[in-house]
Amino acid sequence: MKTPKIAVLTGAGVSKASGIPTYRDGADSLWNNHHPQQLATPETFAQNPKLVWEFYDWRRRNMAQARPNPAHKTLAEMEAALSHFTLVTQNIDGLHREAGSKNILYLHGDIWLVRCTECDYRSEDRRTPLPELPPRCPRCNAMLRPDIIWFGEALNPKTLYQAEQAFKKADIALVVGTSAVVYPAAYLPFFTIEKGGRVIEFNMERTALSDYASEVILGPSEETLPRWWKQFRQEMGLS
């Protein structure tokens, strides 16, 4: 039996069991009386870079304590077992990488990377807390910013193109822990549908995608995804 090509889109729901709250978690979504959506913008960074960096330094400290959960580990297992597998994530926490996934497309960037606001300097910096806020570029002394996509900024066109191609080629698209309302990421599963492939959604509740999915599996992804993968690999005869 031919092994299908699989593309996966993950969102914040995948990391919730690791202790990382989503932007939509009610009281958890406030930081020092600020909504994250108000802080994660280029406009706020231009007006008050220290405040924005204090928010991200706090997020980095929280994420540094988080560990991959069974959903992250299952996706790493899938990649190791399948010849055609692409993981596309909206998450910036780095837990997929820590779980062992390698072929990852980061739609919204990576909180552990920083880049210069003036020159082309870009580097990983996992120090928590950062010794200086805002941090400075070692090359030109300009301010560094988190290497992530803020509200109002366009996605990296190369990353988006690679994600689109993966879903266009996929026989099965797995959509895990995402509300399916943030575009263009929310449109990716429809490339698989247009090709005639199957979309399987793993979520806590139905979303805007659910009516188009071949199957909707409700419940915590750290439970539902490993269970689905165990059954799938038995059906496919994968070791």
List active site positions. Answer: 108
- 115 sits in which H/E element: strand 109-116
State how far the Cα of 126 lies from the Cα of 224, in Å rounded to an integer: 31
Token pair of 19 as six digits: 């202790």
Element holding 89 (H helix, E strand): strand 85-89
Q: Report yes or no: 98 and 129 within 8 Å, Cβ to Cβ.
A: no
Q: Where are the beta strands (DSSP E) in 164-232?
A: 172-176, 198-203, 215-218
Taking the alpha carbons of 184, 187, 189, 190 in that order, is the dihedral positive or negative?
A: negative
The percent of the chain in helix, strand and coil, each rounded to the nearest 5, is 40, 20, 40
CA distances from 164 to 71, 74, 173 (A): 23, 23, 12
Tokens of 59: 């997020």
4 φ, ψ to 5°?
-70, 155
- Decide if 135 contacts 125 (C-beta within 8 A): yes
